Amino acid sequence: MNFIKGLSLVLLLFPALARAQDNALRLDDLLDQALERNPKIKASGLEAKALSFRIPQERSLPDPMVNFDLKNMGFPDFTLGREVMSGVGFSFSQALPYPGQLRLKGEIAGKAYERQNEVTNAVIQSVFRDVKTAYFELYALRKSIAILLEQKALLERAAELTETKYAVGSGLQSDVLKARVEVSRIDEMLMPMSEMVKSLGARINLLLDYPPDRPLGEPQDQGVESLPRTLEEVQKEAAANSPMIKEASLMVEEGDKMVSLARKELRPNFVVGGGWEYKGRLPSMYEVMVGLELPLYRKTKQSKMLEESVARLGSSRDALASTTNDINAMVTEDFLKARSSENLIKLYKERIIPQASLTVDSSMASYRVNKTDFLALLADINTYFSYQMALYRERANLWSSIAQLEETTATRIVHWGEKP
């Protein structure tokens, strides 16, 4: 019999549970849509694709030169076949850069392409961070609204109690008025919060390239209340995976190759060519040519190019050191924020909120028998619910700090949405 009753209860609750599942706003779904639809990500990816087409261009020889010549002695007579200097000719020439130049140019273009890939990765991580942060803020805000509604219900019960006590002559009219003011104050807090929900929803939709007023479901508890990494582990992951550090490293490699290319620019380039000239009844002429392109102005051109490349390489190395320091500082700051939120969450759940709940129960009982005044009861109620709201704010802060670390390290640190 108990089994049948339990089964009936499950069947009755199943439609409500199904609707709740359908209304769930899942973070992984949002991240997948952001990767597919976000305009900033798509633009950066297309820029990388465009740079990939530059690699074969830089590795290719310069276009050859083709000439057509007509030589004639005097005018207007046509002297082809009668004069040795007269003829119709065809020739071509091909510039040949100093050995190694084309290879280096292709490698430089390849490094630029790799750098843009890291820029794209950084853009992806940045957009993911923005989506996660807005999602966590929306979760905390909706939880805060639910808590305020619960607080309002308790205050209304307290207001009814003051009215009952006033009606029988054991309460004060001022307590009744204070209770109603507190209820109205909750309504005042709820009004701007509903607008903030719309604003956060619009932010998420725009990150996904949807209309800002597209309805969103209910954000889910991510089941994360601690950071499963040490500071040293996160710093190692950042050093190995950070797109910003990788981009700066590739900039140094690109600068090193540009210095090598500038050194080769000090060498002469070659030009080879050949031709054939038709002379009618006279023997045809053939021509083979080898030339040098001399760096005649090397002091003001090629040498300055080398000095420029060396200076840029030094700048890139300093930029890499600066970026590494900045990443370490960001990781340390976000890690400490996460640990602080983690400790506060534990404190709220294990000590403060249970104690505050007992205090409210005690104050309510004491007020019924006139052992405490109404102001003390109001203070205890407001304190209890403020700590509940603070718990969800710290959860959102913890998740946002972890999201920042995931952006910096380009690594998934936690499994979002899994219950602990």
Neighbours of 189 (CB within 10 A): 14
Per-residue pLDDT tens digits for 285-319: 999 999 998 888 889 999 999 999 999 999 999 99
- The band of 1, judged by pLDDT with boundaries at 50, 70 and 90, is very low
The rounded percent of the chain whose pLDDT value lies above 70 is 93
Say if 49 falls within a structural domain: yes
Mean pLDDT value of segment 243-272: 95
**Strand 87-96's sheet: what is its strand order?**
65-71, 87-96, 269-278, 285-293
Q: Is residue 160 part of a domain?
A: yes
How far is the C-alpha of 193 from the C-alpha of 154, rounded, in Å?
20
Residue 419 lies in a domain: no
Predicted confidence (pLDDT) per residue in 90-101, tens digit = 999 999 999 999
Question: How do residues 326-370 score in pLDDT, each as one tens digit?
Answer: 999 999 999 999 999 999 999 999 999 999 999 988 988 887 877
* Residues in Cβ contact with 264 at an 8 Å cutoff, skipping those fewer than 6 apart: 98, 100, 101, 104
The pLDDT score that the predictor gives to residue 18 is 43
**Sign of the dihedral defined by the CA atoms of residues 387, 393, 396, 397, in that order:** negative
Whole-number pLDDT of residue 176: 73
172: Cα separation from own chain's centroid: 58
Report the percentage of the chain scoring pLDDT > 90.
68
pLDDT > 70? residue 144: yes
pTM of the model: 0.86
In a domain, 33, yes or no: yes
pLDDT attached to residue 4: 41
Instruction: Return the CATH number at 148.
Output: 1.20.1600.10
Report pLDDT digits (tens) over 220-233. 999 899 999 999 99
DSSP 301: T
Write out the H or E segment, with its range, that includes residue 287: strand 285-293
For residue 56, give the H/E element and its range: helix 54-59
Average pLDDT, the chain: 88
- In the DSSP assignment, the letter for residue 418 is -
pLDDT digits (tens, 9 = 90+) for 38-53: 999 999 999 999 999 9
Helix (H) or strand (E) holding 258: helix 243-265
Residue 14, pLDDT score? 43
One-letter amino acid for residue 228 of the chain? P
d(CA 420, CA 406): 19
- Provide the 8-state DSSP code for 222: -
pLDDT band at 375 (very low <50, low <70, confident <90, very high): confident
Whole-number pLDDT of residue 20: 43
DSSP string, 328-394: HHHHHHHHHHHHHHHHHHHHIIIIIHHHHHHHHHHHHHHHHTTSS-HHHHHHHHHHHHHHHHHHHHH
Count the alpha carbons within 13 Å of 34 in the hemisphere toward its beta carbon: 23
> In whole angstroms, what is the distance from residue 237 CA to residue 234 CA?
5
Residue 20 placed within a domain? no
How many other C-beta atoms are found inside a 10 Å radius of the C-beta of residue 314?
Answer: 12
CA distances to 14, 18, 20, 420 from 7, rounded to whole Å, are 10, 16, 20, 27
Contact 198, 211 (CB under 8 A): no
Q: CA 285 from chain center: how many Å?
A: 67
- Whether 4 maps to a domain, the answer reads no
Residue type, 230: T
Position 242 in a domain: yes
In this prediction, residues 190-200 reach a mean pLDDT of: 92
Which domain, by its residues, includes 288? Answer: 25-409
Alpha helices in 91-172 (DSSP H): 101-167
For 232, phi then psi, to 5°, come to: -65, -40
For position 418, what pLDDT does the model report? 66
Does 302 reside within a domain?
yes
CA distances from 396 to 141, 145, 200 (A): 9, 15, 14
Number of domains in the chain: 1
What per-residue confidence (pLDDT) applies to 326? 96
